[in-house]
């Protein structure tokens, strides 16, 4: 899709896709991206997930 409308002028910007931050879905041990928002264990390495230690510190 083009950034220009049918008359050659600037068109409406396309809407964005998914959220930029997937950090909450990364395994802290192996960095695998989890399919579910809060699984109990990592599908790749088996690390236990979901505790406060897994949450990123955004302060």
pLDDT at 6 over 60: yes
- Does residue 32 lie in a domain region? yes
- Does residue 49 lie in a domain region? yes
Residue 41's DSSP bridge partners are 48
- Does residue 2 lie in a domain region? no
pLDDT at 10 over 50: yes
pLDDT, tens digit, for every residue of 19-54?
A: 678 888 899 999 999 987 778 999 999 999 876 544
Q: For every residue of the chain, which 3-state class applies, written as one string?
A: CCCECCCCCECCCCCCCCCCCCHHHECCCCCCECCCCCCCECCCCCCECCCHHHCCCCC
Q: Check: CB of residue 49 under 8 Å from CB of residue 27.
A: yes
- Does residue 19 lie in a domain region? no
* Total number of domains constituting the chain: 1
Predicted structure pTM score: 0.49
**Mean predicted lDDT score pLDDT of the chain:** 75
- Does residue 44 lie in a domain region? yes
Residue 33, domain extent? 24-59
Q: Higher model confidence: residue 6 or residue 43?
A: 43
Residue 42 corresponds to which tokens in the numbers above?
């990592």
């Amino acid at each position: 899709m083009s950034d220009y409308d049918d008359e050659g002028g600037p068109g409406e910007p396309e809407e964005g896709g998914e959220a930029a931050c997937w950090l909450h879905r990364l395994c802290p041990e192996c960095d695998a991206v989890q399919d579910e928002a809060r699984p109990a264990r990592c599908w790749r390495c088996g690390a236990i997930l979901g505790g406060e230690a897994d949450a990123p510190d955004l302060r």
